[in-house]
Homo-oligomer: A and B are copies of this chain.
Amino acid sequence: MSLSFHIEKAGGRARCGRLVTPHGEIETPVFMPVGTLASVKGVPQDTLEELGAQIILGNTYHLYLRPGVETVRRLGGLHGFMAWRRAILTDSGGFQVFSLNELRKVTEEGVTFRSHLDGSAHFFSPESAMEAQIGLGADIIMAFDECTEYPADRDRMRASMELTARWAARSKKYFEAHKSEVPWKQGSGVRGQRTGTSIQSRAPGIQCPVDGRSIDDVPRNADPIVTDPWPLTPGPCSTQSLFGIVQGGMDRELRKESAERTIEIGFPGYAIGGLSVGEPRALTREIVESTLEHLPAGTPRYLMGVGTPEEIVEYASLGVDMMDCVLPTRAARHGLLFTSEGKVSIKQARYAQDQGPLDPNCGCRVCQRYSRAYLRHLYASNEVLAQVLNTIHNLSFYLDTMRRVRHSISLGEVRFSF
C-alpha cells in the first residue's frame, strides 16, 4: 500500500481527511513547508516536528544539482539523507526549469536547461525526472509537466497542455516500470550503529500508523532521538505515489480538458499546476474553482505554490487538500511576519522598544519567549537568529491556520474565514 486517502468530514465543498503515506499520516487540508535543498531554510528537523509539520517538500531541480540524486539515493533517499522520518513530496523539476526563462529549451522529448549555479547544460525528460524522483525517494512525486507562461495565447496554452498530457503518460509509464527501485527497499535509510539512548527505552507497544508494526519491531539502530512512531524504513510493500498535474493556462475549457486527460491516464492524486505565475489573484481563484469541479472527489487535490494565509484558508474551503508555498519561509527571511493581528514588518523602528510578543495569540516558542524589540534588533543587526526565529513563527502561523481550518471542517462548518 503506497497511499490511501480517507475523507472524514465534508462541509460544503471543503473536506478534512487523512492521507496515509509510507512515512506517516497527514491530516488534510495540509500546508507543506518547502525544504528546497533538503532543508527548510534555517529550521532544524526536530523543530519542524515540534511545529507539527507532517509533510515537507523537496525540489528535484535543486537536489539534482546539489548534492545530486545518486548521493541522496545511496544515503537512503531524502528521508535518510536529511533525517526526516515523516512524509516528503518532491516536485518534478518542471516548474523550477520553467523559472529559468532564458536558460531552457523545450522539445517534445524534454527540456534542455542550464544550471543557475554554473551554467552547465542538463536535460530533463519525463523519464529522467521520474528517475530522479525515484532516486530521491519522496512519498509523493509529481509528473513532469510544462508550466505554461502567463500571459499566453490560446494556441500556446493548448499546445502546452497537450505536451503536459503526453508527458504525464510517459511519466506514469516510466514510474510503473521503475517504482520498485525506490531507495527504501535497500533498507539504506537507516544510519549505522549508534550509541546513546536505546530505542527500547521508549514505551513498548506503540503501533506504526502506516503498516501497524509495533515500535518494538523498529530496528535498534534507528535514530534514537526521534520519538515519532513514524517509520524511517516503510513496510516492504510500499512504494512512492505519482500524482498527475493539470495545466491549461488561464483557460477554463483547456483546464477541463487537461483534467479529463490526466484522469484518463489515472493517478492516485491530482495537482493544479501553472498558477501563481503572475496572473491576477481573482483569475487564480476562478481557475482553481473551475478546475476542482473536474477532479474526482475521492482523491487528494493539490494546489501547487499557493499562497497567503488568507488564500490557503480560501482554497481549503473550495476543497483543496494540499498546498505548498515558499511565502512563509521566504517572507520570514525578509522580516515579514504573519500574525493573528495582520502582517508585521519587524524591521520597522516602531518595534524597537516593543516589549510585547510578536503575536499575542500564538503559542509558538518564538512568541512565548521573545519580544518584538528583540526580534527587531536581530533583524536590524543581520543576526542569523532572526531568520531562524522568524521562519519558525511564520511556519507555526501557517500550520496553526490549517489546524483551525481542519477543526472548522470537522465541526461541520460550511463557511470559515481567515
CA distance A226 to B44 in the complex (A): 20
Give, as a whole number of angstroms, the nearest-CB distance from A103 to chain B: 19
Taking CB atoms, residues of chain B closer than 8 Å to A344 are none
Q: Is B39 touching A83 in the complex (CB atoms < 8 A)?
A: no
CA distance A224 to B364 in the complex (A): 12
Give how many copies assemble into the complex: 2
A37 within 8 A of B: yes
Assuming A38-B377, A363-B196, A378-B39, is B368 touching A225 (CB within 8 A)? yes
Residues of chain A in range 51-88 having any CB-CB distance to chain B below 8 Å? 66-67, 71, 74-75, 81-83
A46 within 8 A of B: yes
Taking CB atoms, residues of chain B closer than 8 Å to A44 are 365, 385, 388-389
Taking CB atoms, residues of chain B closer than 8 Å to A378 are 37, 39
Give, as a whole number of angstroms, the nearest-CB distance from A129 to chain B: 21
* B39, B67, B81, B192: the one within 8 Å of A356 (CB): B192
Over the window 362-405 of chain A, the binary record of Cβ atoms lying under 8 Å from chain B Cβ atoms (1 yes, 0 no) is 01010011110110011011011101110000000000000000
Q: Is A82 touching B381 in the complex (CB atoms < 8 A)?
A: no
Q: Is B225 touching A385 in the complex (CB atoms < 8 A)?
A: no
Q: Is B383 touching A37 in the complex (CB atoms < 8 A)?
A: yes
CA distance A373 to B46 in the complex (A): 18
Q: Is B41 touching A385 in the complex (CB atoms < 8 A)?
A: yes
* B46, B365, B383: the one within 8 Å of A225 (CB): B365
CA distance A101 to B336 in the complex (A): 38
Assuming A81-B374, A374-B81, is B369 touching A192 (CB within 8 A)? no
Q: How many residues of A contact B (CB 8 A)?
A: 51
Q: Is B226 touching A377 in the complex (CB atoms < 8 A)?
A: no
Taking CB atoms, residues of chain B closer than 8 Å to A357 are 191, 194
Over the window 232-270 of chain A, the binary record of Cβ atoms lying under 8 Å from chain B Cβ atoms (1 yes, 0 no) is 000000000000000000000000000000000000000
Taking CB atoms, residues of chain B closer than 8 Å to A81 are 371, 373-374, 377
A187 within 8 A of B: no
* B83, B374, B384: the one within 8 Å of A82 (CB): B374
Give, as a whole number of angstroms, the nearest-CB distance from A277 to chain B: 26
A99 within 8 A of B: no
Q: Is B361 touching A195 in the complex (CB atoms < 8 A)?
A: yes
Q: Is A38 touching B384 in the complex (CB atoms < 8 A)?
A: no
Q: Is B191 touching A368 in the complex (CB atoms < 8 A)?
A: no
Assuming A225-B369, A356-B192, A371-B83, is B42 touching A385 (CB within 8 A)? yes
* B192, B225, B352, B387: the one within 8 Å of A67 (CB): B352
A360 within 8 A of B: yes
Over the window 3-44 of chain A, the binary record of Cβ atoms lying under 8 Å from chain B Cβ atoms (1 yes, 0 no) is 000000000000000000000000000000000011101111
* B46, B353, B360: the one within 8 Å of A75 (CB): B353
Q: Is A39 touching B385 in the complex (CB atoms < 8 A)?
A: yes
Taking CB atoms, residues of chain B closer than 8 Å to A365 are 44, 46, 225
CA distance A380 to B75 in the complex (A): 17
Show 22 residue pairs from A and B whose CB-CB distance is below 8 angstroms, ordered by the A residue. A37-B383, A38-B377, A41-B384, A43-B385, A44-B365, A44-B388, A46-B369, A71-B353, A71-B373, A71-B377, A75-B353, A75-B355, A81-B377, A83-B371, A191-B357, A195-B363, A196-B363, A225-B368, A226-B369, A384-B387, A384-B388, A388-B388
> Hey, which bits of chain A sit against chain B, CB under 8 A?
37-39, 41-46, 66-67, 71, 74-75, 81-83, 191-192, 194-196, 223-226, 352-353, 355-357, 360-361, 363, 365, 368-371, 373-374, 377-378, 380-381, 383-385, 387-389
